[in-house]
């Protein structure tokens, strides 16, 4: 079974600074999908960024980018120019390749990000 | 385009009762997923429905059940409620044919069991 580990329960960053959230995972599959979700206090989970394992290029979405290291099974999220609205719980999630009955997401425990003005 | 909707927002029940939670997916999405977010346990996969059929279930007892209707909306039923069922229940929807099959989440139902 796949597992996802987020080793930083809490992180803080100054507004306009850069912060990196860590995520590692364990899998024996060669192709899979990785996601970062954000859950603000309003509870609504929002997809931040996604990465498919066979794509070497790191995904980027505006101020959010990932450092995907397949051999190390690492998938960290970098937030540049942090804004107050970035404050939330961030979850790393893994999904097995398409097909069969494995469309569930396996989540890490989350990292609570505080942004200080 | 409307997102995933869930009702009710909050639900308070007593131990032993039954709870019914509802989810409407994004228009065009045929898959609905249910997750439990309990304090200290993180997000745990409960059930996945697609095209009206249960496709996969997580490691939860049979008193957690559900169904998907012809319009792809879904219901989660929890029978014989226990105190530890208190949690935020999140519903997500997706379109299996999309390249990443991203799951889009609703705002959740907060279930409190007294």
Please tell me which of the candidates A35, A98, A101 has its beta carbon nearest to residue B55. A101
Residue A12 reports pLDDT greater than 80 = yes
Instruction: Please give, one letter per residue, the 3-state secondary structure of chain B.
Output: CCCCEEECCEEEECCCCCEEEEEECCCCCCEEEEEEEECCCEEEEEEEEECCEEEEECCCCCCEEEEECCCCCEEEEECCCCHHHCEEEEEEEECCCCCCCCCEECCCEEEEEC
Cβ separation B56–A104 shorter than 8 A: yes
Residue A89 reports pLDDT greater than 90 = yes
In this prediction, residue A100 carries a pLDDT of 63
Quote the minimal CA–CA distance from A104 to chain B in Å: 7
What residues contact residue A27 under an 8 Å CB cut-off, 6+ apart?
A: A2, A73, A94
Q: Enumerate the residues of chain A whose CB falls inside 8 A of the CB of residue B60.
A: none
Cβ separation A105–B43 shorter than 8 A: yes
> B35, B37, B57: which to substitute to probe chain A, counting the most A Cβ within 10 Å?
B37
Stretch A13-41: mean pLDDT, rounded? 94
Tokens of B6: 């869930």
Mean per-residue pLDDT of chain B: 94
In this prediction, residue B101 carries a pLDDT of 82
Q: pLDDT tens for residues B5-54?
A: 999 999 999 999 999 999 999 999 999 999 999 987 889 999 999 999 99
Stretch A81-100: mean pLDDT, rounded? 90
List the one residue out of A48, A52, A41 whose CA is nearest residue A94: A52
Residue A101 reports pLDDT greater than 70 = no
List the one residue out of B112, B87, B103, B104 whose CA is nearest residue B36: B87
Stretch B69-90: mean pLDDT, rounded? 97
Residue A1 reports pLDDT greater than 80 = no
Q: Enumerate the residues of chain A whose CB falls inside 8 A of the CB of residue B100.
A: 33, 50, 52
Residue B95 reports pLDDT greater than 70 = yes
- Portion of chain B with pLDDT greater than 70, in percent: 99
Residue A99 reports pLDDT greater than 70 = no
Cβ separation B48–A98 shorter than 8 A: no
Residue A19 reports pLDDT greater than 70 = yes
pLDDT band at residue B96 under the 50/70/90 scheme: confident
In this prediction, residue B100 carries a pLDDT of 79
Residue B70 reports pLDDT greater than 90 = yes
Q: Enumerate the residues of chain A whose CB falls inside 8 A of the CB of residue B87.
A: none
């Amino acid at each position: 079974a796949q597992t996802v580990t987020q080793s930083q329960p809490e992180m803080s960053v100054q507004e306009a600074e850069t912060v990196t959230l860590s995520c590692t995972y364990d899998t024996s599959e060669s192709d899979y999908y990785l996601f970062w979700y954000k859950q603000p206090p309003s509870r609504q989970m929002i997809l931040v960024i996604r990465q498919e394992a066979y794509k070497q290029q790191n995904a980027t979405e505006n101020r959010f980018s990932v450092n995907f290291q397949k051999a190390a099974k690492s998938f960290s999220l970098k937030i540049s120019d942090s804004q107050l609205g970035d404050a939330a719980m961030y979850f790393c999630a893994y999904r097995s390749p398409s097909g069969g009955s494995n469309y569930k997401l396996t989540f890490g425990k989350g990292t609570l990000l505080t942004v200080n003005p | 385009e409307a997102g995933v909707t869930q009702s009710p927002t909050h639900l308070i029940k007593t131990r032993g009762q039954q709870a019914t939670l509802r989810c409407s997916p994004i228009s065009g999405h045929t898959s609905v997923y249910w997750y439990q977010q309990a304090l200290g346990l993180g997000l745990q996969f409960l059930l996945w429905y697609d095209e009206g059929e249960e496709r996969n279930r997580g490691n939860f007892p049979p008193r957690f059940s559900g169904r998907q209707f012809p319009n792809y909306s879904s219901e989660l039923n929890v029978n014989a409620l226990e105190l530890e069922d208190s949690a935020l229940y999140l519903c997500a929807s997706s379109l299996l044919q999309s390249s990443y099959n991203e799951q889009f989440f609703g705002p959740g139902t907060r279930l409190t069991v007294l």
